[in-house]
Structure formats: structure tokens, C-alpha cells
Structure 1
């Protein structure tokens, strides 16, 4: 049975994921270090991992497989999930694949180097929009169907 794993810390689309999981009758695992409000939905399970860097990522990477969907903004976690055969999406609906994950990792490293070279440079990322939410829902629907086809 397919499972939707959510790297839940700072995930802006938890409610949308829950709606899709409920519609498809899939278990949704919200993985975090704590601090999330539990859902009354019996399909939603809150998984609290120990404090520490990347503990939620390790937990998800150790369990996901080809019939699962993973939602994360963490590129190294996405690489592990793609390698495991999972469908993997960013919060804005962008899909991580075997064809693009290498470029994503390289871009992440480049941006880290640029930030380190200019410590005064501030964020400046764009905000999360309704269009991002809509694009995410469409991508999640496609990812769930693809994962269920591999069950």
C-alpha cells in the first residue's frame, strides 16, 4: 500500500496533502522533531523523531519505497528517495527525478557557496502563492497515481 511521507517541519501544504491522502485512502506520515498539531484524521500519523540534524530525513529515507510519495524541500533527502524509487515532490509541485536530482544537488551546493562568500546577502526568496498551491495539488495527484500503479 502506498504511503505519503511528509518532511513536515516548515511544510506549507500539509492540509492539501491530507485532503489528497483522504480522497485516495492513503496513510500520511507527518515526520518532524515535534511541535505539530496532531490531526483527528485516522489516516494521518504524526511521527516524532529525536532532536538532531536530519533525523526526520533519515527516518523517511530508511522507509520510503517505489510505491510511496515523499514531500520535501530537502534536496539530499529527495536524492535518497528518488534513488529508492519513490515519487518525490517539492512543496510547490516541482518533481524530483533521476534526470534532475544531480543538477538540483549541484545548484544547492553552488548557492551554499555563494551565501558563504557573501555573509551580508539576505534571503530574498519569493513567497508561496496560490498558484504554487494549485500546482502542488496537481503534481501530488499525478504522483499518487504513479505510486499506486507500482503497488
Structure 2
């Protein structure tokens, strides 16, 4: 069975979500890479879970993730422009609240993000994100588990298919 990696944009990932991802990775033995512009402590010593610190330039961690992930992988980020770039590469992407980004919904999310950014830059208050609590962590855990199980099932199915002689 072909392996996949979970990529985490760790710069703004809540501690509870990081810990949840680590628990899933340890239980399922899934290679996981946390990428950030600064060292982020991880509560694990597993060889298949690692922290990668990229340059401190803007978007360096995002660029690292985009360059190193493949369509077999899953990414976790709240950064909508990064999510859009990853979706363009065919990667499954979800945010830290359990929302799965797709080709169908990323355009609207990106437009809303840009609109709110424009409001903020002009001194107006845009849409605020609600606080992060147990409800949001549970939504993430359920969504993340569902995406992992889909990916595992997909890979098992691919492994049972005969190789074509094209």
C-alpha cells in the first residue's frame, strides 16, 4: 500500500489540534510533518512525526508544504490561499475546525477572505472567527478521522487492483 503524509501548517494551528493530529498519527502510524517559520514544540518522539522549520520569510512554510506534498497526501491549514494552492495540486485539505476545502468551495472561501482582508486594510471590521473550544476540536477530530479513513480505504483499494500493462 502506497503511503501518504499528513502536512500541517503549524504556524497558527491550535495546540489541541496539533495534539489530536499526533494522536491519530501515532495510532495509525502515519508520517506527519509539522511545518512552521519557527520551532513549535511537539508532544511526541515518534520517528515518523517531525517538525520542519522553514525560513522566516513570509510564506516560506507554505511554499515548503506545496513543494514537498503529493496528491496522495492530506494537509491541515487555516490559510485559505495555501489551501487553494494545495487543492490545485490535488491534495485533500481541511482546516483546524474540520471544514474540508474542495475545488467546489475554495473559490468562495478565497473571495470571502480577500473581501475581509480588504475591509481590514481600509480600517473596517470584517467577519470575525469564533473562539476555538471543545466543539470546534470535536468537529476537527471527526472530519480528520473521516478524511484519514477515506484515504486509507482508497490506498487499500489501489493496492488490490492489478497493474495495467500499458
Number of aligned residues: 150
Please state how far the C-alpha of 1:124 moved relative to its aligned partner. 4.6
> What CA distance in whole angstroms lies between the structure 2 residues aligned with 1:11 and 1:115?
22
Instruction: Find the structure with the greater CA-based Rg.
Output: 2
Structure 1 segment 1-151 matched on structure 2, within 5 A: 1-12=3-14, 13-38=17-42, 39-118=44-123, 121=125, 124-148=128-152, 149-150=154-155
Give yes or no for contact 2:39–2:51 (8 Å, CA) kept in 1. no
> What CA distance in whole angstroms lies between the structure 1 residues aligned with 2:146 and 2:136?
15
Evaluate the alpha carbon distance shift between residue 108 and residue 29 of structure 1 in structure 2; reply closer, same or farther with a 3 A threshold: same
Give yes or no for contact 2:5–2:33 (8 Å, CA) kept in 1. yes
Unpaired runs of at least 5, structure 2: 159-166
> What CA distance in whole angstroms lies between the structure 1 residues aligned with 2:100 and 2:78?
11
Please state how far the C-alpha of 1:110 moved relative to its aligned partner. 0.5
Please state how far the C-alpha of 1:118 moved relative to its aligned partner. 2.0
RMSD of aligned alpha carbons? 1.7
Give yes or no for contact 2:117–2:126 (8 Å, CA) kept in 1. no
Please state how far the C-alpha of 1:117 moved relative to its aligned partner. 2.1
Unpaired runs of at least 5, structure 1: none
Please state how far the C-alpha of 1:122 moved relative to its aligned partner. 8.4
Evaluate the alpha carbon distance shift between residue 146 and residue 63 of structure 1 in structure 2; reply closer, same or farther with a 3 A threshold: farther
SS in 2 for 1:61: helix
Give yes or no for contact 1:87–1:147 (8 Å, CA) kept in 2. no
Give yes or no for contact 1:71–1:88 (8 Å, CA) kept in 2. yes
Give yes or no for contact 1:86–1:147 (8 Å, CA) kept in 2. no
User: RCO higher in 1 or 2 (8 Å CA, sep ≥ 6)?
Assistant: 1
Give TM-score, length-normalised by structure 2. 0.84
Evaluate the alpha carbon distance shift between residue 128 and residue 81 of structure 1 in structure 2; reply closer, same or farther with a 3 A threshold: same
